[in-house]
A = this chain, B = another copy of it.
Amino acid sequence: MTSQRIWTAALAVIGDEILSGRTQDKNIAQIALWLNLQGIRLREVRVVPDVEDAIVEAVNQLRARNDYLFTTGGIGPTHDDITVDAVAKALGVEVVVHPKARAVLENYYETRGGITEARLRMARVPDGATLIENRMSGAPGIRHGNVFIMAGVPHITAMMLDALSGTLEGGAPLLSATLGCWVGESEVAELLRATEKAHEGCQIGSYPFFREGRVGANFVVRSTEQAVLGACVAALAGGLEATGRETVAGGI
């Protein structure tokens, strides 16, 4: 039961705009939630600058030790978009113009001023790649082996994830349930530890907050087994109720 294979993914977020604080990343959470539904766990994330060596290092370390690697950012038409070149270098292959990507872009820009050298940059892929459809803006995502090159703009990445849904091999989806309680987490630390220990294959996360002048916490129980999850949640709920504090199924 606990020896089932766990499929893992890593994410490399590529972009100076995240590291400068200019842009609040939204792709980590978006991709994490999508991966959960595919039965794949996001195991690690790196945010790297628009610097070739940094991208190459992250791509090669992460793709080697995870089932899948996703990248976001750096696939547009401008000089700071170097993801395709860096991934190709990491993979040890040439960069080529993908004929289908070229056709898609020519069609997309037919009524938008025509294809240009800059726009054609978005048809370049690591040799051997296939395309990931993007109904939004013409420029496709790119798959090469276990590496998936996605857009930086979150709603374009969302379209690409949509196109990939159900196509990747995964394991049992990680299930979760949340219990909220108006209690300081330090008051129930031993209960949490003991409850987790008594339910093999469950993890309990504790996320404290301070709202309306009161301390509380949400406790998230995770497992791939519905029955184990249910038993752990029931045990935790019983323990929390025994403290006399208000407990809220689903979280506060």
Q: Are B47 and A119 in contact (CB under 8 A)?
A: no
Cα A205 to Cα B142 in complex, Å, equals 22
Chain A 97-137 near chain B by CB (<8 Å), digits 1 or 0 = 00000000000000011001111011000000000000001
Q: Is A187 an interface residue (CB 8 A)?
A: yes
State whether A46 and B44 are in contact (beta carbons under 8 Å apart), knowing that A78-B192, A206-B78, A222-B20 are contacts in the complex.
yes
CB-CB under 8 A from A228, the residues of chain B are none
| Most chain B beta-carbon neighbours within 10 Å: one of A41, A44, A119, A193 | A44
CB-CB under 8 A from A28, the residues of chain B are 18, 21, 25, 47
Chain A 74-90 near chain B by CB (<8 Å), digits 1 or 0 = 00111111000000000
Q: Is A176 an interface residue (CB 8 A)?
A: yes
Chain A, interface size category, equals 35 or more
Q: Which residue of B lies closest to A54 (CB)?
A: B44
Chain A 176-187 near chain B by CB (<8 Å), digits 1 or 0 = 100000001111
Cα A79 to Cα B193 in complex, Å, equals 6
CB-CB under 8 A from A245, the residues of chain B are none
Closest chain B CB from A105 CB (angstroms): 10
Q: Are A19 and B32 in contact (CB under 8 A)?
A: yes
Q: Is A163 an interface residue (CB 8 A)?
A: no
Q: Are A29 and B21 in contact (CB under 8 A)?
A: yes
Q: Which residue of B lies closest to A48 (CB)?
A: B44
A207: contacting residue among B23, B47, B205, CB under 8 A: B23
Q: Are B43 and A19 in contact (CB under 8 A)?
A: yes
Q: Are B78 and A16 in contact (CB under 8 A)?
A: no
CB-CB under 8 A from A76, the residues of chain B are 185-186, 206, 208
Q: Which residue of B lies closest to A116 (CB)?
A: B186
Q: Which residue of B lies closest to A208 (CB)?
A: B76
Q: Are B17 and A205 in contact (CB under 8 A)?
A: yes
Q: Which residue of B lies closest to A174 (CB)?
A: B20
Q: Are A118 and B189 in contact (CB under 8 A)?
A: yes
Q: Are B16 and A121 in contact (CB under 8 A)?
A: no
Q: Are B113 and A16 in contact (CB under 8 A)?
A: no
Q: Give chain A's interface residues, CB within 8 Å of chain B.
A: 13, 16-26, 28-33, 35-36, 41-50, 54, 76-81, 112-113, 116-119, 121-122, 137, 153, 174, 176, 184-187, 189-190, 192-193, 196, 203-210, 220, 222
